Amino acid sequence: MYRLALFTTALLFGASAAAQEVLTLATTTSTDNSGLLAAIHPDFERSTGIRVKVIAKGTGASLQLGRDGNADVVLVHARAKEDEFIEAGFGTMRRDVMANDFVVVGPSADPAGARFATSASGALERIVAADHLFLSRGDGSGTHLKEQQIWRHAAVPTKTDTRSFVAGGRPTQFTSTRPAKGRYISIGQGMGKTIIMATERQAYTLVDRGTYYAFLLADPPRTDLAVVCEGDRMLANPYGVIAVNPKTHPNVNFAAAKKYIEWITSARVQGMIGRFRIDGKTLFHPAHESSH
């Protein structure tokens, strides 16, 4: 009977002991879907006794969770948005954590010839020119922001969609840039779903290398798309960790957030991130590798 009660409590509150401290981390689907967090979080729990509750959304949604005080710490990849977030007083203690890079993937036969482009924007130009299908996450995530940045550099006419809505009691605008011509579908889904759809439709898309590898190297593989463009400096994808500002949201678990930031930027954990591999492939490059 006692064991049953304990078990019920554990299920109800999601902790092995009911009173265990919990840190809510809002992060991107790319970090969660790659399996990195599942690999390193047990170490945090062991060394601090704090359990991490991971809410995986796009960068935009994750920052919104921080803005609303529904998360204690955020781990995202969109530098401009991160700075905005901190300047508006929602975040504090930003640190670089790691970087990976984006790749443009597409059908292995590469019907658009994107492989022969010398830059990311060049690759997208070829896809538009070939009138081949391109899938966009379209969810305001870091990947989506990066994709729009590339479109703006590409020599193709773009147009801007603007949607207005109210967030946190303020009217907010969500604008997105997309090519004015060509076959382009904005699906409003996470990274994983986007790869799956691109694979099903044999479309091109922009994906972070970590998630792409996780799908390509899974057994059995979950995608047969090939990398058609990589290495452009514009494709760099730095991740930052930010504590939600306790001055704005006094309820957040700032002490735990601080511990988490110190832990994830520590030399030991940075080493773990660098050693995290899928089938021998490194997915993330720790930010503090050389400095420590």
Partner 1 sequence: MQTFKDALENALRLVLSLDANVVEYAQRTLLIALVSTLIASLIGIPVGMFIAERRFPGKRAVVTLLNTLLAVPTVAVGLLVYTLLSRNGPLGSWELLFTVPGIIIGEVLLIVPIVTAFTVTAVARTDRDVRKTALTLGANSRQALWIVFRESRFGVLAAVIAAFGRVVSEVGVAMIVGGNADEFTRTLTTATVQNVDMGNFALALALGLVLLAISLSVNVLFQYFQGGGHQ
Task: Answer yes or no whether residue 167 interacts with partner 1 by CB under 8 A.
Answer: no
Q: How far is the CB of 266 from partner 1 (least distance, A)?
A: 23
DSSP letters spanning 196-247: HHHHHHT-EEEEEHHHHHHHHSSSS-S---EEEE---GGGEEEEEEEEEPTT
Angle between helices 267-275 and 36-48 (to 10 degrees): 150
What is the nearest approach in angstroms of partner 1 to the Cβ of residue 51? 7
Using CB under 8 A, pick the residue from 6, 8, 111, 172 that binds partner 1.
8
Considering the rule CB under 8 A, would residue 168 count as an interface residue with partner 1? yes
Cα torsion through 27, 215, 144, 186, rounded to 10: -120
Beta-sheet strands, E only, within the chain: 22-28, 51-57, 73-76, 91-106, 134-136, 158-167, 170-179, 184-186, 204-208, 226-229, 236-244, 277-278, 281-282, 285-286
Per-position x/- string for 234-273, each x denoting binding to partner 1 as judged by CB under 8 A, each - no binding: ---------------x-xx---------------------
Binding partner 1 by CB under 8 A: which of 111, 157, 221, 231?
A: 221
Stretch that binds partner 1, among 109-117, 120-128, 132-140, 212-220 (CB under 8 A): 212-220
By the criterion CB under 8 A, which residues form the site for partner 1?
A: 8, 11-14, 22, 24, 29, 33, 38, 51, 53-56, 68-70, 168, 189-190, 192-193, 195-196, 199, 214-215, 218, 220-224, 249, 251-252
